[in-house]
Amino acid sequence: MKGSTKTGLLRGLIAAAVSIAMLFGLMAVEYYLNPDNQAAQSSAAQTAETPAVPAVAEAEPISADANAAGAFQPGTYTATANGFGGPVDVTITIGDAGGIADVVIAGQGETPDVGGAAIPELRNQIITAQSADIDGVSGASFTSGAVKEAAANALALASGQEIETGPKAEGDNLFIPGTYTGSSKGFGGDVEVTVTVSEMAIEDIQISGDHETENIGSFAVSMLGERIMDAQSPNVDALSGATVTSSAIMRALQQALTEAGADLSRFPAPEEADPDAPKTDETLDCDICIVGAGGAGMTAAIKATQAGKNVILLERMPYVGGNTTKATGGMNAAETHYQAEQGIEDSVQQFIDDTMEGGHQMNNKDLVTVMAQNSAKGIDWLDSIGAPLPKVSFSGGATNARIHAPEDGSGVGAFLVTRFLNKVNELGINVLYDTKATELISDNGTVVGVKAESADTNYTINAKAVILTTGGFGNNQDMIVQYRPDLEGTVSTSAPGAMGDGIVMAQAVGADLVDIEQIQLHPTVEQGTSMLITESVRGDGAILVNQEGKRFTDELLTRDKVSAAELEQTGGYAYILFDQRLRDGLKAIEKYVSIGITVQADTIEGLAEQIGCDPATLSETLSTWNQAVANKNDEEFGRDTGMENDLSVAPFYAIKIAPGIHHTMGGVKIDTQAQVINTEGKPIPGLFAAGEVCGGVHGGNRIGGNAVADIVVFGTVASESAVAYCDK
């Protein structure tokens, strides 16, 4: 994927919206949430010589054993590399026997909770390895990279080598003009950054790499590029929710700039924003204010702008996409031209029936009918904005092949969000990033605007109509526990902005809620990374086995049933199993392999060993399954879809998975016009809502592929209703 920068509206908005304190806070949060980071943190904490404030790791006496004989010349050597917030100095003392006797690392500019906390551990790693070739500390990859680089240079000096410092820009110039490329390891592979510089400025930046592995798309990465261009510095804030990718980009950029002759110490560390600084007040006017730039919000914004309305789109994160970015499967739609072209028989009625049955008949059938009836039109609209979804296949809970995905099998969410954002930018829609809506403005029961805040501004946005598209509350543990105490502590696949803000704001103006306790667990979530293994893996033929190596369910039952079946197995988890043929046919699998959550073996027995189950049992499970595929008859569990290919092409793969919070199905009550309904059953004038913030469409269980259908169809309905309301 490519992310590139361009000047313009976005750039100015982003520059205005950056909040250093917030991002540092979020990075720290991410650090503590990641189990690897907890391990790193505790290992640092257990180190006896760890100082209380570890931005500098002071020397403690090192045992004589550490002075392993080596090729180094006794003495003390210092080298510097650029860390997250400025230079990191590594001073290495070589003992008489030629081994590393001591290491002092000074990185005062590193984020205290992240890079700073990692420094004592990095010091220990160098001493233990007697080398600069160390693992580093996950979650503090920026600091780790700087320490490794500086340590390698210090050891090069200790070996009598000259350190290659490269050419230097002359005089006051910052760079030697030209185009330079750097690369660094990101979440799932190498990230490459190519910069074009003049003597005093970064003129262009191109960033490439598989950013979707961190569930951000090229749009988020291009925003980081915008920040770098605005700051004209490699020292900018990471993207919250994507710090590993951000760090890799920064390292690659530093490498490229160093090649360009830059002295990195000339670029100041980002200044911390003053949280107590007074905010300015700003009043804006528009026809329609749309709160939340996920799939529903961007659909509504595009449609309303095309209908001639002046739109302001608010987004609390520094980038668009929300949970929509994370949608991996596709969009359910019936009676589409793609189905017709592929000879697939399906009907709107069957779509309604499947959705109602999947939702345990708890769904609002009127809303389901609107979604199903307008789904084919939604597919046509996506075609028209350059976001075609031609690949049609089976998905759990659907009688017919109905889930529509991108041609190349890539995740539907990032695919759509990238294209929605292109359209939003093309139409010049005013998107306020890092701007959180806090309150709906109500005038005698009619909604007439939104209050919102960014790092430096309090906004009053007057609007003729407001559309809430703030998504769900899967990331708000307090709300989860409030409505579903039994789910306390369950991992969530939700995006950082899924905090339930829209639900709280709507309730404050009298909105009713529906099915709020209906929270969907997704059955295939890798627990260490919270990464969701797309339903398409099972749809294309994968099976689930328990720790004993046995299948235990029809893998394509609805998500609630499969999740419940998993929770009954030993340890409450399972393994999803597939083969090389399946991997070859599904691009999404590449990221699972590249981030290391798969295990693989050339034989079934070998795979059994990898996952610690009985080889004979797993082998028998596979041959029974392959026979069922051949006979098109699964006698054990009655599965009858996703059986086109057996699992027989080596190597074989497994991913350990368990249920995770995936979608909050309940929310604000709406009618078929997407008007928000109050507790007396009446529409609240001026207020509309669409997408995951609403309840009623999915009932007690959402079928895979219906979230995208929901956002496209109801994003459109809400937009049309708001436009009509403005024109009244």
Q: Strand 280-291 and strand 311-314: pairing?
A: parallel
The continuous run of DSSP H or E covering 177 comes out as none
The runs of H, that is alpha helices, within 208-291 are 218-231, 243-259
The yes or no reply on residue 721 touching ligand ADP (CB under 6 A) is no
Distance in Å, CB of 543 to ligand ADP, minimum: 31
Number of residues lying near ligand ADP (CB under 6 A): 29
The contact mask relative to ligand ADP for 634-673 (x = CB under 6 A, - = no) is ----------------------------------------
Residue 293 interacts with ligand ADP (CB under 6 A): yes or no: yes
Q: Is 689 in the site for ligand ADP (CB under 6 A)?
A: no
Nearer to ligand ADP, 323 or 641 (CB): 323
Query: Which CB atom, from 158 or from 320, has the smaller least distance to ligand ADP?
Result: 320
As a whole number of angstroms, the distance between CA 364 and CA 514 comes to 10
Q: Which of 402, 559, 639, 702 is catalytic?
A: 559
Does the protein bind ligand ADP through residue 437 (CB under 6 A)? yes
**Residue 449 binds to ligand ADP (criterion: CB under 6 A):** no
Helix (H) or strand (E) holding 432: strand 430-432
**Alpha-carbon gap, residue 96 to 74, rounded angstroms:** 5
Q: Please count the other Cβ atoms lying within 10 Å of the Cβ belonging to residue 451.
A: 15
Distance, CA of 574 to CA of 550 (rounded, Å):
10
Residue 283, exposed/middle/buried by CB under 10 A (0-12, 13-18, 19+)?
Answer: exposed
Which residues are CB-neighbours of 23 under 8 A, at least 6 positions away? Answer: 237, 238, 240
Q: Does 436 bind ligand ADP (CB under 6 A)?
A: yes
Q: Is 317 in the site for ligand ADP (CB under 6 A)?
A: yes
Q: Which of 54, 83, 292, 549 binds ligand ADP (CB under 6 A)?
A: 292
User: Which of 174, 193, 711, 718 touches ligand ADP (CB under 6 A)?
Assistant: 711
Per rule CB under 6 A, is residue 543 in the interface with ligand ADP?
Answer: no
Residue 241 interacts with ligand ADP (CB under 6 A)? no
For helices 243-259 and 218-231, angle between their N-to-C axes, nearest 10 degrees: 50
Minimum distance from residue 687 beta carbon to ligand ADP (Å): 15
Shortest Cβ distance from residue 300 to ligand ADP (Å)? 9
Distance of closest approach, residue 570 Cβ to ligand ADP, in angstroms: 34
Spatial separation of the C-alpha atoms in residues 69 and 67, rounded to whole Å: 6
With respect to ligand ADP, which residue has the nearer C-beta, 141 or 325? 325
Min separation Cβ 373 and ligand ADP, Å? 20
**Which residue lies nearest ligand ADP, judged by its C-beta?**
294
SS3 letters for 287-329?
EEEEECCCHHHHHHHHHHHHCCCCEEEECCCCCCCHHHHHCCC
CB of 248 to ligand ADP, least distance (A): 23
Q: Does 371 bind ligand ADP (CB under 6 A)?
A: no
Site for ligand ADP in 469-508 (CB under 6 A): 469-471, 495, 497-499, 501
The residue among 404 and 551 lying less far from ligand ADP, judged by its C-beta, is 404
Is 551 assigned a catalytic role?
A: no
Give the separation between CA 663 and CA 498, rounded to whole angstroms.
Answer: 10
Least Å distance, CB 708 to ligand ADP, is 9
Residues 6+ apart with CB under 8 A from 539: 329, 393, 394, 395, 396, 403, 556, 641, 642
Measured torsion, CA atoms of residues 497, 498, 503, 505, in degrees rounded to the nearest 10:
-10
DSSP 3-state of 571: helix
Closest CB to ligand ADP among residues 316, 402: 316
**Annotated active-site positions, please?**
559
Which residues of this chain interact with ligand ADP, rule CB under 6 A?
291-297, 314-317, 321-324, 436-437, 469-471, 495, 497-499, 501, 691-693, 711
